[in-house]
């Protein structure tokens, strides 16, 4: 059986639940759509693996970018496999309202606590200021297309950042990461995973999930306080540099889309150029901070990649054994680190 490479990592998966598309696709840049380097699209690798049994079952690697950016590049064999499968499994059940409420409560601070009580004063103040800036900028970040679809800046801001003072710092950190201009511009189109879930529902396929929200959410809550404060501080520093114009975010999502459309699995899974949840491992960090960054990186790798792969692999195996006469289509995130680094939440 195929190893479940990378899987859809928590933030990126959970992001889907908030209902909006997400990506770092930049504006004003050529879409990294086509794969000019090689031959015909149909001859490229696809992210489809067949599990040889009768009837066959499939693994399909998805990514969390607006589906319109990749759909035309997904080979026919993958689309056929999806159409012909009886049962479609995702990492999370995106169509179950319980998934959303479980996510919301998992992100909240304990009853009666507020971020202001929890965060160091300097961090709280900078966070608040940054969110005020985002709120102010949001109308100018949105595209005419988004406005044409009736998406309003206030609504979007509240959908992503409403209730931020009640969220756990780690989720606020992820949220801040998803509140950049390029991310905002790509809201409103379902990401590929969500699109497949909607299609499965439309085609009245049986659907299911191999994971529970808690299994994705709890590990993130397991970072300890000093690690979370470090991460939030770094995230804010990065956003502040961005605001001051002294830093440009690398367009990692564009690269991801390009690799995906080119069937370049190795780049998707193994590329480390976008390290973990924002880029904490930064060559200019002083040594003791680099250690903290590395510890966070290791923690996520262990909890969100290795342990999950094992857990999900076991559930897949059980399903295949329990229903030998059904054809399954397992749609899981194809990326490893990259997905982890970009997922960032907006519930
Ligand atoms: C957090 O975890 C790191 C690494 O395990 C450890 O060095 C540090 O002392 C911990 N901090 C707190 C506040 O528990
Ligand atoms: C945030 O990070 C900067 C730079 O690494 C450091 O000087 C500062 O003390 C940190 N602030 C907090 C509150 O941890
Ligand atoms: C790297 O870290 C330093 C100090 O925390 C910060 O000033 C700089 O903006 C960071 N660079 C990136 C690309 O995040």
Which of 3-12, 54-63, 166-175, 330-339 bottoms out in mean pLDDT, i.e. has the lowest?
Answer: 3-12
Nearest CA to ligand 3 atom 7: 237
275 Cβ below 6 A of ligand 2: no
Q: How far is the CA of 284 from the centre of ligand 3 (A)?
A: 6
If you measure from the C-alpha of residue 168 to the centroid of ligand 3, how many angstroms do you get, rounded to a whole number? 24
Q: How far is the CA of 44 from the centre of ligand 2 (A)?
A: 46
Q: How far is the CA of 262 from the centre of ligand 3 (A)?
A: 31
Cβ contact 319:89 at 8 Å: yes
Residue 63 pLDDT more than 80? yes
Confidence at 11, pLDDT banded by 50, 70, 90: very low
Question: By alpha-carbon position, which residue is closest to atom 11 of ligand 3?
Answer: 282
Q: What are the angstrom distances between the C-alpha of 306 and each of 3, 9, 277?
A: 11, 11, 16
Ligand nearest to the CA of 229: 2
Atom of ligand 2 nearest to the CA of 229: 14
Please tell me the predicted confidence (pLDDT) of residue 96: 80
% pLDDT > 70, the chain: 77
Residue 50 gets which letter from DSSP? Answer: E
71-77: Cβ within 8 A, 24+ apart: 71/192, 71/195, 72/33, 73/33, 73/34, 73/35, 73/41, 73/260, 73/261, 74/46, 75/41, 75/42, 75/44, 75/46, 75/48, 76/42, 77/46, 77/48
pLDDT on residue 343: 32
DSSP 303: I
pLDDT at 200: 95
21 pLDDT more than 50 = no
Query: How confident is the model over 212-239, as pLDDT tens digits?
Result: 888 888 888 999 999 999 999 999 998 9
Ligand nearest to the CA of 125: 2
Confidence check: pLDDT of 182 > 50: yes
Q: Whose CA is nearest to atom 4 of ligand 3?
A: 285
Between 189 and 164, residue with greater pLDDT: 164
Where residue 263 falls among pLDDT bands split at 50, 70, 90? Answer: confident
Task: State the pLDDT confidence band at 40, using cuts at 50, 70 and 90.
Answer: low
299-307 LR contacts (CB < 8 Å, sep 24+): 299/222, 299/223, 299/227, 300/9, 300/276, 300/340, 301/276, 301/337, 303/219, 303/222, 304/9, 304/10, 304/216, 304/219, 304/220, 304/340, 305/6, 305/7, 305/9, 305/336, 305/340, 307/219
Ligand 3 atom with least separation from CA of 241 = 9
User: Ligand 2: distance of its center to the CA of 290 in Å?
Assistant: 13
Reported as a single tens digit per residue, the pLDDT across 267-278 is 665 444 333 345
Specify the pLDDT at position 322.
96
pLDDT at position 45 is 64
Q: DSSP string covering 80-128, please?
A: HHHHH-SEEEESS-TT-HHHHHHHHHHHBPSTT--HHHHS-HHHHHHHH
Ligand 3: which of 239, 284, 285, 286 to mutate, most ligand atoms within 8 Å of CB? Answer: 284
Determine the pLDDT at residue 15: 35
Give the number of other Cβ atoms within 10 Å of residue 338's Cβ: 30
Ligand 3 centroid–CA 248 distance in Å is 11
Q: What is the mean pLDDT of residues 278-289?
A: 72
| Three-state secondary structure call for residue 204 | coil
Q: Whose CA is nearest to atom 3 of ligand 2?
A: 233
Distance 277 CA to ligand 3 centre (A): 14
Per-residue buried b or exposed e for 80-117, using 16+ beta carbons within 10 Å of the residue's own CB: ebbeebebbbbbbbbeeeebbebbbebbebeeeeebee
pLDDT band at 128 (very low <50, low <70, confident <90, very high): very high
Distance 242 CA to ligand 3 centre (A): 10
Would the pLDDT of 309 be above 90?
no
> With 60 as the cut, is the pLDDT of residue 160 above it?
yes
More confident residue, 6 or 311: 311
Q: Is the per-residue pLDDT at 48 higher than 60?
A: yes
**What value, to the nearest 5°, has the Cα angle with vertex 23 and ends 146 and 291?**
145
Q: Which of 233, 280, 287, 293 for mutating ligand 2's site (highest number of atoms within 8 Å of CB)?
A: 233
Q: Which of 343, 276, 264, 341 is nearest to 32 (CA)?
A: 264
Is the pLDDT assigned to residue 299 strictly greater than 90?
no
**Span 81-97, mean pLDDT?**
90
Ligand 1 atom index nearest CA of 227: 1
Chain mean pLDDT for the chain: 79
Strands 48-51 and 57-62 come out as antiparallel
Confidence of residue 303 (pLDDT cuts 50, 70, 90): confident
Q: Can you read off the two tokens belonging to residue 246?
A: 């002294």
């Amino acid at each position: 059986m195929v190893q479940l490479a990378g899987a859809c990592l928590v933030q990126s998966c959970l992001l889907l639940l908030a209902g909006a598309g997400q990506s770092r696709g930049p504006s004003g840049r050529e879409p990294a759509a086509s794969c000019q380097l090689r031959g015909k699209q149909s001859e490229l690798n696809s992210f489809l693996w067949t599990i040889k049994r009768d009837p066959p079952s499939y693994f399909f690697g998805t990514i969390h970018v607006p589906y319109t950016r990749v759909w035309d590049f997904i080979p026919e064999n993958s689309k056929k496999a999806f159409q012909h499968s009886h049962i479609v499994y995702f990492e999370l059940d995106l169509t179950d309202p319980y998934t959303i409420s479980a996510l919301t409560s998992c992100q909240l601070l304990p009853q009666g606590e507020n971020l202001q009580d929890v965060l160091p004063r300097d961090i709280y103040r900078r966070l608040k200021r940054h969110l005020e800036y985002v709120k102010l900028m949001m109308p100018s970040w949105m595209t005419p297309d988004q406005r044409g679809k009736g998406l309003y800046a206030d609504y979007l801001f509240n959908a992503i950042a409403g209730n931020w003072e009640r969220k756990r710092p780690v989720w606020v950190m992820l949220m801040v990461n998803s509140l950049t201009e390029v991310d905002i511009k790509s809201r409103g189109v379902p990401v590929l995973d969500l699109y497949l879930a909607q299609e499965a529902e439309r085609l009245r396929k049986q659907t299911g999930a191999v994971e529970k929200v808690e299994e994705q959410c709890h590990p993130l809550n397991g970072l300890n306080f000093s690690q979370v404060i470090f991460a939030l501080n770094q995230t804010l520093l990065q956003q502040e540099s961005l605001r001051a114009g002294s830093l440009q975010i690398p367009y990692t999502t564009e690269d991801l889309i390009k690799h995906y459309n080119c069937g370049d699995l190795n780049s998707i899974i193994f590329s480390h150029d976008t390290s973990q949840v924002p880029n904490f491992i930064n060559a200019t960090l002083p040594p003791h901070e680099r250690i903290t960054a590395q510890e966070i990186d290791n923690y996520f790798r262990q909890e969100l990649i290795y342990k999950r792969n094992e857990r999900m692999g076991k559930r897949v195996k059980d399903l295949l054994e329990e229903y030998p006469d059904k054809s399954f289509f397992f749609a899981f995130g194809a990326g490893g680190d990259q997905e982890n680094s970009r997922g960032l939440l907006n519930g």
